């Protein structure tokens, strides 16, 4: 193993709750219920695809122009939440693990669908742990397509087979496998069962646990 590639939302920081609040505000405005369970379907999915899933849940039809407007409005609200983020919102155990990875001389990259990655990393104080950032502004194909992880490996100059991906979304685990990488699922084995290893969070997690 030469490099670790980390998804951002739901792995390093809990920004999923802000995505949820911002999508819920849109659903409220459109007059339908949007639950936290529904929100699970949007994890790791691109912004436009998320909107399409939301509209399908609400049974609402929109023109392309209306969709653009709604996605922009949601993103504005989402950015107002994440611009107030602090390093306290880094998920438990994450910083200790990142320090161990760096101390072991492994390379690190972000592999996130989010176009808001730079703002989140700056607000959370995560930039210092990363050698490269591959995000939604650099790719055209969403997970489960491997593009964002392959981009991360390329930026690091590491062969994909020497990379391990940390992901909280099923589509992300699939994307890692499609890239020829191993995957550690962060969350529940029910949804992430295809990963080589599933852990609930990074608390107490050590590099030596990567035995595959
Ligand atoms: P944005 P990840 C993903 O980030 C989120 O999980 C997903 O819910 C979101 O729709 C997507 O980023 C796009 O985010 O609207 O900020 O560009 O999990 O791949 O880090
Ligand atoms: Mg995620």
Question: Does the pLDDT value for residue 11 go beyond 90?
Answer: yes
Average pLDDT over residues 89-95: 98
State in Å: Cα 9 to ligand 1 middle: 6
Q: Give the pLDDT score at 110.
A: 98
Average pLDDT over residues 164-189: 96
CB distance 167 to ligand 1 below 6 Å: no
Q: Give the pLDDT score at 112.
A: 96
Atom of ligand 1 nearest to the CA of 44: 6
Q: Is 168 known to be catalytic? A: no
State in Å: Cα 72 to ligand 2 middle: 20
Q: Categorize the per-residue pLDDT at 44 as very low, low, confident or very high, splitting at 50, 70 and 90.
A: confident
Q: Is 7 known to be catalytic? A: yes
The β-bridge partners of 3 are: 107, 163
Question: Does the pLDDT value for residue 40 go beyond 90?
Answer: no
Residues 98 and 206: their CA atoms lie apart, in Å, by: 10
CB distance 39 to ligand 1 below 6 Å: no
Q: Please state, rounded to an integer, the average pLDDT across all residues of the chain.
A: 96
In this prediction the pTM is 0.93
CB 201 within 8 A of CB 186: yes
CB distance 44 to ligand 1 below 6 Å: yes
CB distance 74 to ligand 1 below 6 Å: no
Average pLDDT over residues 76-99: 97
Q: Give the pLDDT score at 184.
A: 98
Dump pLDDT digits (tens) for 109-136.
Answer: 999 999 999 999 999 999 999 999 999 9
- Cis ω before 39 (30° cut-off from 0): no
Tokens encoding 209: 């646990």
Question: Does the pLDDT value for residue 3 go beyond 90?
Answer: yes
State in Å: Cα 172 to ligand 2 middle: 7
Q: Give the pLDDT score at 177.
A: 98
What are the C-alpha distances in Å from 181 to residues 9, 32, 62, 193? 19, 40, 38, 16
CB distance 46 to ligand 1 below 6 Å: yes
**Percentage of the residues of the chain whose pLDDT score is greater than 90:** 95
Residues 122 and 100: their CA atoms lie apart, in Å, by: 21
Q: Give the pLDDT score at 43.
A: 86
Q: Give the pLDDT score at 145.
A: 96
Q: Categorize the per-residue pLDDT at 165 as very low, low, confident or very high, splitting at 50, 70 and 90.
A: very high
- Which-ligand-closest: CA of 50? 1
State in Å: Cα 102 to ligand 1 middle: 25
């Amino acid at each position: 193993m030469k490099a670790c590639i980390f998804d951002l939302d739901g792995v390093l920081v809990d920004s999923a709750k802000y995505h949820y609040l911002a999508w819920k505000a849109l659903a409220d405005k459109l007059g339908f219920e949007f639950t936290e369970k529904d929100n699970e379907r949007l994890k790791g999915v691109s912004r436009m695809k998320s909107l399409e899933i939301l509209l399908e849940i609400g049974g609402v039809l929109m023109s392309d122009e209306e969709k653009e407007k709604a996605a922009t409005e949601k993103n504005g609200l989402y950015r107002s939440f994440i611009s107030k983020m602090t390093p306290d919102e880094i998920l438990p155990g994450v910083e200790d693990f990142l320090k161990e990875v760096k101390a072991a001389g492994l390379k690190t990259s972000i592999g996130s669908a989010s176009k808001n990655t730079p703002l989140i990393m700056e607000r959370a104080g995560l930039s210092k742990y990363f050698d490269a950032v591959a995000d939604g502004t650099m790719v055209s194909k969403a997970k489960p397509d491997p593009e964002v992880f392959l981009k991360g490996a390329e930026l690091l100059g590491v062969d994909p087979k020497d990379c391990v991906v940390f992901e909280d979304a099923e589509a992300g685990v699939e994307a890692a496998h499609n890239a020829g990488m191993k995957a550690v699922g962060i969350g529940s084995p029910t949804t992430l069962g295809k990963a080589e290893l599933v852990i609930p969070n990074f608390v107490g997690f050590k590099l030596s646990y990567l035995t595959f």
